Structure 1
Amino acid sequence: MHNFLPIAYFENQFIAFENAKISIATHALHYGTAAFGGMRGIPNPENPSQILLFRLERHCQRLSQSAKFLNYDLPADKIEQIIVDFVKKNKPSQSFYIRPLVYSSGLGIAPRLHNIEKDFFVYGLEMGDYLSPDGISCRISSWYRQEDRSFPLRGKISAAYITSALAKTEAVESGFDEAILMNSQGKVCEATGMNVFMVRNGQLITPGFEQDVLEGITRDSILTLAKDLGIETIQRPIDKSELFIADEVFLSGTAAKITPVKRIETFTLPSDRPITEKLREKLSAITENKDLKYANWVNVIPLE
């Protein structure tokens, strides 16, 4: 049962969430011609009359870039202002998640991006932990990540998530919490909605963009934090067998934050995760606006 925030932005206005409805003939519903974003917000622990949003500007930039793949010009600063207004109107009192989405709103039948109307909406819901913070189990999915030569992987395009949905259900129905997908070259790519990191011999390692991974904003944040903390970071291809013998493995994403992996297939990973925990504590402090060095990553939205 989801607790949706009461106000949504829909068709250029703020209305009650329950009144924001689309036609069953909407183009994006049939052809996946949509792109979305996701960002977390929390009431400021030091001042509940303020909302803290993590890396709002970067999220809006990525959504604006994704919209370009849909032949839609939606400036990042417009998205940002709408989201700020959205937060002020809803006045959330719990940790929450914002879902902005751009889509082909026309009622056409043919799959195309030209000569069809586009639109943009925003809604939100209360959200705690997306995955268990104590650690999860993963299987290697039988489904493979798309390739950039056949799909615009630099955008967060909704149609791509059919692969994630297939992999997630396959994992859960076979007794695991999450799935890790390989790319077409047989290298580790990402989870169903998260980037993958591993630690070996004190080095933090993650697949590079040439491995068809999403340009994750949490991923980017972790790489920056690791370097600042003196942790050696490497972006390179990862073999499946490396995950089985890694010192630490964790997933990262807006919803998942930093989630440790306890087991992959039949391989149990060490319970001691010093680098994972150091990064998780650092990221948590930043999102609560308790680390002035990274204050520019946090937007403080006054509700009064």
Structure 2
Amino acid sequence: MHNFLPTAYFEHQFVPFKEANISIATHALHYGTGAFGGMRGIPDPQNPNQILLFRLDRHCQRLSQSARLLHFDLPADKIEQIIKDFVQKNRPQTSFYIRPFVYTSDLGIAPRLHNIEKNFFVYGIELGDYLSPDGVSCRISSWCRQADHSLPLRGKISGAYITSSLAKTEAVESGFDEAILMNAQGKVSEASGMNIFIVRHGKIITPGFEQDILEGITRDSVLQLARDLGIPVVERPVDKSELLIADEVFLSGTAAKITPVKRIENYTTPSERPITEKLRDKLTAITENRDSQYQQWVFPIPLN
């Protein structure tokens, strides 16, 4: 059962969620010509009259860039203002997730991005833990992460998520929680909707942008936190065998936050995860506005 927030932004206005409907002939539905964002919000634990959004500016910048890949000019500041208004109209009482979406809204049948109507909507859903905070099991997917020369991976293009969907279902139906995708060069890329990190000998190692990963905002946050905590960080290609002998493995994403990996295929990772736990505790404190050093990452939205 999904608990959607009652109000959506649709076709340039705020309407009841149940009335925000598209036609079955919508272009993006057929060709995957959309792009989305995702951000978390929580009621402020210290102030019941405001909502906290994590890194709203970066999320809006990335969605604006994704829209540009679809030949759609949608300024980041416009997205940001609509999302602030959206939160104030819905006044959520629990942890939630916002899904803004840009798409080709025309009803034509030709696959194209030129001379076609585009649009933008926003809706929200109550959301607790997306993955188990105790840790997940992963399998190496038989599906390969797309390459940037075939699909613009610097944007969250909706059509790209067929691969994520195939990988996730393959993993779950074979007894695992999550999938890890390799890229076309056989190096570790990412999970179905999360970035991946390993810890070896006190260093955090993660695939770089050249490994066909999404430019994750939580990933960026983890790297900044690690550096500030004095933990060495290396961005480089990662081999499959490194996953199996790592001291710690964890996933990061807006929905997943920081989630430890407890098993990969038939290899169990160590149960002690000091670096993962330190980063997760730090990120939780920041999102709850309990860490003054990172207040610029937290956007309070007043409800009065």
Q: TM-score, normalised by structure 1?
A: 1.00
The one-character-per-residue Cα deviations of 1:49-104 (angstroms, maximum 9, x if unpaired) are 11000000000000000001100000000000000000000000000000000000
The match for 1:228 is 228
1:139 aligns with 2:127: no
* Letter matched to residue 298 of structure 2: V
1:297 aligns with 2:283: no
Identical-pair percentage: 78
Q: Within 2, Cα distance between the matches of 1:269 and 1:114? A: 49
By how many angstroms is 1:187 displaced? 0.2
Q: Within 1, Cα distance between the matches of 2:301 and 2:148? A: 37
* Letter matched to residue 86 of structure 2: F
Q: Within 2, Cα distance between the matches of 1:170 and 1:96? A: 27
Q: Within 1, Cα distance between the matches of 2:270 and 2:63? A: 37
The match for 1:54 is 54
By how many angstroms is 1:48 displaced? 1.4
Q: Within 2, Cα distance between the matches of 1:108 and 1:79? A: 26
> For 1:227-266, what aligned pairs fall within 5 Å after superposition?
227-266=227-266
Q: Within 1, Cα distance between the matches of 2:70 and 2:268? A: 42
* Equivalent pairs, count: 304
1:93 aligns with 2:93: yes
The match for 2:21 is 21
- Runs ≥4 residues deviating over 4 A: none
Show structure 2 runs of 5+ residues with no match: none
* Letter matched to residue 32 of structure 2: G
The match for 1:267 is 267
Q: Within 1, Cα distance between the matches of 2:106 and 2:69? A: 17
1:194 aligns with 2:194: yes
The one-character-per-residue Cα deviations of 1:5-50 (angstroms, maximum 9, x if unpaired) are 0000000000000000000000000000000000000000011111
By how many angstroms is 1:121 displaced? 0.1
1:175 aligns with 2:164: no
Q: TM-score, normalised by structure 2?
A: 1.00
| Secondary structure of 2:48 counterpart | strand
Q: Within 1, Cα distance between the matches of 2:275 and 2:211? A: 24
| Secondary structure of 1:47 counterpart | coil
| Secondary structure of 1:261 counterpart | strand
Pairwise CA RMSD of aligned residues?
A: 0.3
| Secondary structure of 2:281 counterpart | helix
The one-character-per-residue Cα deviations of 1:210-253 (angstroms, maximum 9, x if unpaired) are 00000000000000000000000000000000000000000000
Q: Within 2, Cα distance between the matches of 1:198 and 1:263? A: 13
> For 1:104-123, what aligned pairs fall within 5 Å after superposition?
104-123=104-123
Q: Within 2, Cα distance between the matches of 1:141 and 1:48? A: 43
Show structure 1 runs of 5+ residues with no match: none
